[in-house]
Amino acid sequence: MSPFHVKIGQQVEFAKTVSESDIYTFAGITGDFHTNHVNEQVASRSKYKHRIAHGALILSFMATASTRMIETHAGVSETETPVSLGYDRVRFVGPVFIGDTVNVQYKITEIEPQRRRSKSKIAVTNQHGELVATGEHILKWVPNGQ
């Protein structure tokens, strides 16, 4: 069995300022045009007073951090390809508004060499350091075909 590609404690960060264009592009791709995301007048009556980003958009930023982890710490393997097995315990605990800068921290917390898996914790904070989302991610290192 080859050595594992990442180590416990390795981490990466990804930061992105969420723009109005991001919200509308994501809505167009997914078909989710809920007023929470695209109608400032309706959203102004909500608890949040403004439009908020799609939770799935924030989840996509978590996936970006996963890719950065692979690129930064594992690189391209001749023998295995990393694929996402999914996200667990994803929670959106605070709103992300247009103009907010989110910082995604992705940290390897567990390795299962026999199963060829790595597990990570993900924390997403805004520019004020407030936690807005959290989750766990599992990467499977799949043997390359012959």
pLDDT, position 1 = 47
Instruction: Tell me the two tokens of residue 143.
Output: 């043997």
Query: Residue 100: its pLDDT value, please?
Result: 98
Segments of the chain with pLDDT less than 50: 1
For residue 103, the model assigns a pLDDT of 98
For residues 65-85, b (16+ Cβ closer than 10 Å) or e, as one string? bbebbbeeebeeeeebebeee
* Rounded CA separation 114/110 (Å): 12
pLDDT of residue 2: 56
What does pTM read for this prediction? 0.92
The per-residue pLDDT for 133 is: 98
Question: Buried b / exposed e across 11-35, counting CB within 10 Å, b at 16+?
Answer: bbebebebeeebbeebbeeeebeee
Residues 6 or more apart whose Cβ sits within 8 Å of residue 5: 70, 73, 74, 75, 77, 80, 82, 118, 141
| Residue 5 near residue 74, CB atoms below 8 Å | yes
Instruction: Tell me the CATH number for domain 11-143.
Output: 3.10.129.10
